[in-house]
Chain A
Amino acid sequence: MTTTTTSDLRSATSGTAAALRANRRRRAGRSILVTCALTVAVAALFVFTMMVGSFRIGAGEVIASVLHLSDNPSVDFVVRGLRLPTAAAALTVGLALGASGTIFQQVLRNPLASPDFVGITSGAGLAAAAGIVLLQAGGLVVSGLALGGAILAALAMYLLAWRDGVTGYRFILIGIGVAAFFEGLIGYVLSRAQLFEARQAMHWLIGSVGQASTTELLLLTGALVVLLPVAVLLQRPLGALDLGDDTARTLGARAELSRAGLLGTAVVLVALAVSVAGPIAFVALVAGPIANRLLGPAARGVLPAALVGAGLLLTADLVAVHLLPTPLPTGVVTGAVGAPYLLWLLATTNRQGAGG
C-alpha cells in the first residue's frame, strides 16, 4: 500500500517540482544578475573617482596607472600617490560596512540593528577620541585604539545581553544603552580637550575615507579577503537562524555557535572599517536593505550588500570631495542622506508593528 501511494505522490509532484525549479532558477538568476551589475557599478565608480578632480585623467590612463601598465610620472603621482589611497579606502571600508551591517541586521532580525546603532562604532569612537585627546596619539595608534574599542564594546554587549543565549531584541536594547553611555563619555573627553586636539578628534569622529594610511588599508584588505568568503559561507546557518532559534535548532543548526561566528566576523569587519575611516554613519544601516530590495525578500545576500556599501561610500566620497563647494568629510554626506532613511524606517516599521 505504501509503495502505490508513494508512487502516486511522486507522479503528482512533477508539476510542482517543475514550478519549484523555475522559481529557484528565477531567484538564482536574479541574484547573479544583481551581483554582476553591482560589481560593474562599483568598479566603474572606483575608476571614476580617480578620474575627476582638478587634474582630469581618462579612464584608460587611470586603469593603466593602477595596474602599473604605463609609465607616466605625473599621472602616476596623481593616481597612485593621491587618489588611489582614498578610492581604495572608500572601496574596502564600504565593502566591510555593507557586509557587517547586513549580518548584524539578519542575525539580530531587526533592520535597526546595524553596528552604528548598537554601540560598536561608539566604542571605537570613544577609544579613538580618548587616544587623541589624552595621549596626543595619531595615525596608527588611533586606529589600533579604535579597533580595540570596537571589539571590547562588542564583547561587553554580548556578555551583558547573554541569558541562556543572546536574543536580538535584548542585544539591540543593551547596544543602544551602551552607545548612549559611550557618546556621553566622548562628550566628556572632548570637553576636557585643548582646541587643536578637540578639532582633530571631531574630524576623526565624523569619519572620512581620506585619512587612511597604507598599513591600515592593507590590513583591512587582508581581512576582507579572508572574512568576506567566511561571511558568504556562514549564510547557510543564517538561513536557519532567521527562522528563530527554536526552528534553527530543530533544523539542526548550532544556533548559538553560528550566531557568535557571524557576529564575530561582522564585528572584526566593522571594527577595522571604523579604525581606517572613522565612524562613517549609515552605510552599514542602509546597504543591507538596499541589497534586499534588489535581490527580493529574505535573500541573505552578504556579497551584494557589501557591494552596495562600497558603491554608496564611493558615491558619498565623490559628492563630499567634488560636488560640494567646499570638500567635506565623507561622514557628513552619508549622515545627511542616511538620517531621512532612518526616520522613514522608524515610521514604517512602527506602522507594520514589526519594530519589536
Chain B
Amino acid sequence: MTRLRAEGLTLGYDDRTIVDNLDVTVLDGKVTAIVGANACGKSTLLRGLARLLAPRAGTVLLDGRSLAELRNIDVAKVLGLLPQTPVAPDGITVADLVSRGRYPHQGWFRRWNDDDHDAVARALDATGTADLIDRPIRELSGGQRQRVWVAMALAQDTDLLLLDEPTTYLDINHQVELLRLLRKLNAESGKTIVIVMHDLNLACRYCDHLIAMSSGAIVAEGAPVDVVTGDLVEQVFGLNCLVVPDPIAGTPMVVPA
C-alpha cells in the first residue's frame, strides 16, 4: 500500500509537455530523491504530485483517491511541500512564519489551541530554530532561513513532505546538515520524504530510494546501490564518470572521469 502515486501522469506548461505519461510510486516511510539534469522535469513532477500543477492527463492518487476530488484543506493535512523559492512578507518573524504552517488545521473561527502550540514548538526544536523565534527572516543566514522554512513545513504536521531543491542555495555544510535533519525526521516519525535535488552524491548518501529522470521520463529507480552506475550517470547527466563506494557509508559516489 502506498499513499501517494501517480498513474499516466502528463504535465506541462502552456503548449509544452514536460512530463509525459508517467507512473510513479512514492514509497511510504522512505526518503526518496528525484534526481536528473536541469530541465528534466523533476520539479514539474514534484509540483504535479503536490497538486500545484493540474495534470493534462492521468491522475495523482493520495490514499487511493484522486487529488482532484479532494478538498485542498484535506490534502494539506496529509501532504506538505516546500517550494524551491518560497516568499515571505517583509519583516515577518520566525515565530509568525512557522505558525502559519498550522493553517490547514485551523478553521474560520477556531484559531489557535494547544495542539497548534505543540506542533510549532516541536517543529522549531526539531530544526534547531527555537532560539530564533523573535528574529525577522530577512536577517537570518541562508542555512538558518532554510531550516525555518522546513520548520514551517513540519508545523503543518503532514505524513508526507515534498521538498523542491531545498539544498540548492546552501553551502556543503548546510546541505549535509539539512539532509541529516530530514533523515532524522524520517527515522523518528516515519515521515515519507521526497526531495528533488541536483547533487547525486548527497542523494546516494542520504536517501533510501532514487528516481532518476531524463527528458520527462523515469530512466531508473531503486536503492542507490542498485541503480547508480557509470552508464546511468552518462545517460542522465551526460557525464563520463567513475562510480566508487563512498569511503564512509559505502554508498555509490560519482567521480568525474
The complex places the Cα of A89 from the Cα of B244 at a distance, in Å, of: 78
- Determine how close the nearest CB of chain B comes to the CB of A267; give it in whole angstroms: 22
The complex places the Cα of A222 from the Cα of B87 at a distance, in Å, of: 37
B194 at the interface (CB under 8 A from A): no
The complex places the Cα of A9 from the Cα of B118 at a distance, in Å, of: 10
CB distance B52 to A246 under 8 Å?
A: yes
Q: Provide the B91-108 mask, 1 if CB < 8 A to any CB of A, else 0.
A: 111011101110110101
CB distance B122 to A13 under 8 Å?
A: yes
Contact with B92, one of A6, A246, A252, A298 (Cβ below 8 angstroms): A298
The complex places the Cα of A171 from the Cα of B156 at a distance, in Å, of: 30
A67 at the interface (CB under 8 A from B): no
- Determine how close the nearest CB of chain A comes to the CB of B2; give it in whole angstroms: 20
* Interface residue range, chain B: 35 or more
The complex places the Cα of A27 from the Cα of B112 at a distance, in Å, of: 14
Chain B residue at minimal CB-CB distance from A240:
B103
Contacts of B125 in A (CB 8 A): 9, 12-13, 16
Interface centre among A10, A15, A243 (most CB of B within 10 A): A243
Contacts of B106 in A (CB 8 A): 236
B90 at the interface (CB under 8 A from A): yes
The complex places the Cα of A104 from the Cα of B190 at a distance, in Å, of: 42
Q: Provide the B114-147 mask, 1 if CB < 8 A to any CB of A, else 0.
A: 0001101110111000100110100000000000
A244 at the interface (CB under 8 A from B): yes
B12 at the interface (CB under 8 A from A): no
B173 at the interface (CB under 8 A from A): no
Contact with B81, one of A250, A297, A298 (Cβ below 8 angstroms): A250
- Determine how close the nearest CB of chain B comes to the CB of A283; give it in whole angstroms: 21
B68 at the interface (CB under 8 A from A): no
CB distance B80 to A250 under 8 Å?
A: yes
CB distance A250 to B50 under 8 Å?
A: yes
CB distance B100 to A239 under 8 Å?
A: yes
A20 at the interface (CB under 8 A from B): yes
CB distance A252 to B73 under 8 Å?
A: yes
- Determine how close the nearest CB of chain A comes to the CB of B75; give it in whole angstroms: 7
CB distance A250 to B76 under 8 Å?
A: yes
User: Are A16 and B103 also in contact (CB < 8 A) when A252-B77, A298-B89 are?
Assistant: no
User: Are A16 and B52 also in contact (CB < 8 A) when A21-B117, A252-B104 are?
Assistant: no
The complex places the Cα of A298 from the Cα of B88 at a distance, in Å, of: 9
8 A-B contacts (beta carbon < 8 Å)? A16-B124, A16-B130, A20-B95, A250-B76, A250-B80, A251-B76, A253-B103, A298-B96
Q: Tell me the B residues contacting A by CB distance below 8 Å.
A: 50-52, 71-77, 80-83, 86-93, 95-97, 99-101, 103-104, 106, 108, 112, 117-118, 120-122, 124-126, 130, 133-134, 136, 156, 188-190
